[in-house]
Structure 1
Amino acid sequence: MARIGVLGFLHETNTFAPDVTGLDRFEEADAWPGLTEGEAILEATRDMNLAISGFISAMHSAGHEIVPLLWCSANPSGPVADAAFETIVARIETHLRDQPLDGLFLDLHGSMVTQRLDDAEGELLRRLRAITGPALPYVAALDFHAIVTRVMVDLTQAMVAYHSYPHVDMADTGVRAARMMQRLLAGESFFADWRKLDFLVSMPWQSTLGDAPASALMAEARALETADCPEVQFIPGFPLSDTPESGPSILAYARVPARATHAVQTLARAVEARRTSFSGRLYAPDEALDALTDRASGCVILADTQDNPGGGGSGDTTGLLRALLDRSAGPACVAVLCDAAFARAAHEQGVGARIDLPLGGRGYPGDEPATGPFDILALGDGRFVGTGPFYKGCRMDLGLMARVRRDGVEVLISSRKQQAADQAMFHHLGADPRHYRVLVLKSSVHFRADFAALADDILMIKAPGANTADLRDLTFRRLRPGVEIH
């Protein structure tokens, strides 16, 4: 039996977002647990679709002892405050110094940027290696949008990234990490090969569902895997990180260097051949509503992708909501808009009351609130369990919530931002997403896992928000030369 340390430190950093991510954002719970240390991690992450959950379960089943150190995450947002990074890393170092270990599992995102660090995960690994030395097996789980760096590859024995977007396989990725850890503990070693690609893929076009290019590439990666080359990965990266290392990566591990190199070269050629296929149409709000006028029935999802909290959006922009209200385009529902003050006031007034306060429109420069009055239809404490494929088992804590309506348009309101990717968010407030003609979901791709089956059509909307969908709207200043922006 081996003693395996486990830790998690996750943040997807949108360097174009106007906010700075402080320690409080890691301490508070949202869809995932807040900052948790020691044995409490086991219960806090149990049975969730998280890499750490899958890893712990698999290693327990194999008879190994789990030594939980620290786990935390914060919703995607602007650069992490240096003070927050230092505080969390210092706590991890303290836990690590106290524990004799045979291996270490790290649940990471892979695209964390702080106020002064472009490669925060690389710096974390450097700090931990200074304590454990280079020989201790490190296996990391990475997000589908990770920005892989040479430091990350060199300081781990293996890294495994999610295969899917929506990320329905996060727990399964933890199981894959456990398999790699067990092979390392048994004395096997793996050679890594990797390649950075010189273009950026916008978030809405990274989906692995249906006939999207990433779907075929994931199938090609799986076809290259063998017992001696167990991991071949296409990792599209996070395009809203303006750093020299940004862009997709190809990563492979094999018992023989030549096999890893062959897999990387083969998959890289396949990705390059589809480079121009990562694209789609973006609709302005009025353009999308015009397209709905001739529809007699059926449900249409309008993905408010640029205000996706899962990509650094504030979760409170109102461009699309105001367009709906101007046209009284109901029955429609907008989910989930973050406005803690409005939610608190709604709870003070109660169900059945009419509330005349400005709603949202404060978190993104140039936006403005939606105006009332709104009828209060339902209230909730924001605590419920995710039921969809992405947030399955997640014990949500979104603060006070409310469902309000004006002119046939309903809005689900939370006190903590979270992308609308689970029908449980509707059910918590007594709403059924099947009953609306228009669903406005503040999400880019994750919503598809639990909502796509309800829709006759899905349109990507270009409304205000920090999760920029057309990368040509941004000014990149720090990308390495030669990186193409589509």
Structure 2
Amino acid sequence: MRIAIGGFQHETNTFSPVPTRWENLVAADTWPGLLQGAALLDAMAPAPGQAPRNIPVAGFIGAAQGDPRAQLLPLAWAAAGPAGRVTRDAFERMSALLLDGLAQARPEAVYLDLHGAMVAEHIDDADGEILRRVRAAIGARMPLVASLDLHANVSPQMLEQADLLLSYRTYPHIDMAATGARAFARLARLLADGGRPSLAWRRIPFLIPMCWQCTDLEPARALQAMTQALEDESDAPANFTMGFPAADVAECGPLAWAYGVDQAQAEAGAERLLRAVLDAREQFNGEIFDARGAVRRALEIRQGGQAGNAPVVIADAQDNPGAGGSADTTGLLRELVRADANAALGLLVDPQAAAAAHAAGVGAQLDLALGGRSGIAGDAPFVASARVERLHDGAVDATGSVFRGYRLTLGPSALLSIGRVQVIVVSQPVQLLDLALLRFVGLEPEGLDIIAVKSTVHFRADFAPVASAILVCAAPGAFPLDPAQLPWTKLPEQIRRRPAG
């Protein structure tokens, strides 16, 4: 089995003014930097006896290592943190790397590690275009399989060009590597059995706010469990992607699709998923606090004795860098300082403050204007006197289930204290979704009353087990939790901006 492997991952917030450039693909941040040829296998292949890193292509490689028939032909792989549209230059250069490698590899099948919500400056359906170009290069008969993020905005072109598309089933995404392994197993079956499975898909007629897409909560938990149950029944994949609701493109939103040995089986699976999602639409809902209300409620929980020694976690969800947020807004920080809370907030992106802290040294007292430089409506720098508590170079080995096996690159970092509030300042945007991102500056959750995280859902994998409560906060940020607040121009009128109401 000569299988060409590659990948190009980006989750594009088209409402963000910050473009995604070539250098963002080349440099390591949350994701590894650009990998080409043999370097892709060297970086992503798990060591003997070790689980693969929680990256789809790493899971695919790990599964292939267990099959002596598999010969992997590495093309290129790159990813960049969520931001605005991918520039034409970056998209075309990465596409060329994949296609040039494909021409030299001469494979029998192709696997691609894609996101499914990438938008380029010149192409709205960027993932579909990658698949179209690959299909044109390999012909109609060669198996082409891709894995997708649970937040993919799946287009008809994507479905048509690939023999199989398989999506993650968890958010937090603890099954990225497992999805890559599933993709290898399915691709091996396609090569052995021949033929393309039948496909049916159903567009969901509403957008789902990201904070209620969490598969630790209902209804997303039951709906994703249903995709596995359908696959077990039919021995054919079923998928429900909940969409990335910050992409002003025609195909934005959730989609249910199923494969089958015949069209009737595929149609039945897709229809069952659609009906289940429609029946659950009222459940995609929950309480959202403003910054002052979130801090007040968190302190009530602590003072009421409901928390024991466990902190209350507040998700600063609209400033999530994992959805294109700047991670530098200060609305929640202001309220924590106003309340003189025993709290930590992070990760606040402010390279100037981090540099000043490193220049001054531990123990220094600095007058700083923290964050607030992104021009977000209702936000501004927070002027305060801060003490430098700790310094770090920002290279952190993740320990949690989402970033398993990753080395995170935060750039020069510092722990600053403003009264009883401690602020983790970094130079590169990364979600505070791993306990290692507290501990690298000496903080432990049990010593805090409140932990404020610039993340929407991913933090739950690591923080839910140590939290007494989790509150969702809508302080100023570039990623509105309510999709109806966004200035849509391309979303079809029949797609509701909210699940209900």
Q: State whether TM-score is above 0.5.
A: yes
Deviation at 1:432, TM superposition (A): 1.2
Indicate conservation of the 8 Å contact 1:15/1:240, yes or no: yes
| Matched residue, 1:59 | 64
Q: Aligned partners of 1:453 and 1:55: how far apart in 2?
A: 29
Aligned 1:433-444 pairs, distance under 5 A:
433-444=445-456
Q: Aligned partners of 2:139 and 2:41: how far apart in 1?
A: 26
1:334 aligns with 2:345: yes
| Matched residue, 2:25 | 26
Indicate conservation of the 8 Å contact 2:329/2:376, yes or no: no
1:466 aligns with 2:478: yes
Q: Residue 99 of structure 2 aligns to a residue in which SS?
A: helix
Corresponding pairs, count: 483
Instruction: List per-residue Cα deviations over 1:427-457 (Å, max 9, x = no partner).
Output: 2112212211000000111000000111111
Question: What is the identity, as a one-letter code, of the residue corresponding to 1:359?
Answer: L
Which of 106, 112, 117 is the equivalent residue of 1:100?
A: 106
Q: Residue 335 of structure 1 aligns to a residue in which SS?
A: strand
Indicate conservation of the 8 Å contact 1:364/1:466, yes or no: no
Which of 212, 215, 223 is the equivalent residue of 2:221?
A: 215
Give the unaligned 5+ runs of structure 1: none
Larger mean CA deviation between 2-11 and 189-198 belongs to 189-198
Which of 207, 213, 218 is the equivalent residue of 1:206?
A: 213
Q: Aligned partners of 1:157 and 1:96: how far apart in 2?
A: 17
| Matched residue, 1:181 | 187
Q: Residue 199 of structure 1 aligns to a residue in which SS?
A: coil
Give the unaligned 5+ runs of structure 2: 46-51
Indicate conservation of the 8 Å contact 2:53/2:177, yes or no: yes
Indicate conservation of the 8 Å contact 1:112/1:121, yes or no: yes
Question: What is the identity, as a one-letter code, of the residue corresponding to 1:313?
Answer: G
Deviation at 1:134, TM superposition (A): 1.9
Indicate conservation of the 8 Å contact 1:389/1:450, yes or no: yes
| Matched residue, 2:243 | 237
Deviation at 1:228, TM superposition (A): 4.5
Question: What is the identity, as a one-letter code, of the residue corresponding to 1:441?
Answer: V
| Matched residue, 1:356 | 367
Deviation at 1:186, TM superposition (A): 0.2
Instruction: List per-residue Cα deviations over 1:402-440 (Å, max 9, x = no partner).
Output: 111111101111111011110111121122122110000
Q: Residue 112 of structure 2 aligns to a residue in which SS?
A: strand
| Matched residue, 2:256 | 250
Q: Residue 199 of structure 2 aligns to a residue in which SS?
A: strand
Question: What is the identity, as a one-letter code, of the residue corresponding to 2:434?
Answer: D
Q: Aligned partners of 2:353 and 2:323: how far apart in 1?
A: 23
Deviation at 1:45, TM superposition (A): 2.6
| Matched residue, 1:40 | 39
Alignment RMSD (CA, Å): 1.3
1:309 aligns with 2:308: no
Question: What is the identity, as a one-letter code, of the residue corresponding to 1:404?
Answer: L
Q: Aligned partners of 2:299 and 2:324: how far apart in 1?
A: 32
Question: What is the identity, as a one-letter code, of the residue corresponding to 2:4?
Answer: G
Q: Aligned partners of 1:417 and 1:70: how far apart in 2?
A: 24
Question: What is the identity, as a one-letter code, of the residue corresponding to 1:8?
Answer: G
Q: Residue 105 of structure 2 aligns to a residue in which SS?
A: coil
Deviation at 1:230, TM superposition (A): 2.3
1:272 aligns with 2:278: yes
Question: What is the identity, as a one-letter code, of the residue corresponding to 2:293?
Answer: E
Question: What is the identity, as a one-letter code, of the residue corresponding to 1:349?
Answer: A
Indicate conservation of the 8 Å contact 2:349/2:371, yes or no: yes
Aligned 1:141-220 pairs, distance under 5 A:
141-189=147-195, 190-210=197-217, 212-220=218-226
| Matched residue, 1:411 | 423
Question: What is the identity, as a one-letter code, of the residue corresponding to 1:288?
Answer: A
Give TM-score, length-normalised by structure 2. 0.94
Q: Residue 267 of structure 1 aligns to a residue in which SS?
A: helix
Instruction: List per-residue Cα deviations over 1:461-485 (Å, max 9, x = no partner).
Output: 0111111101222221111121111
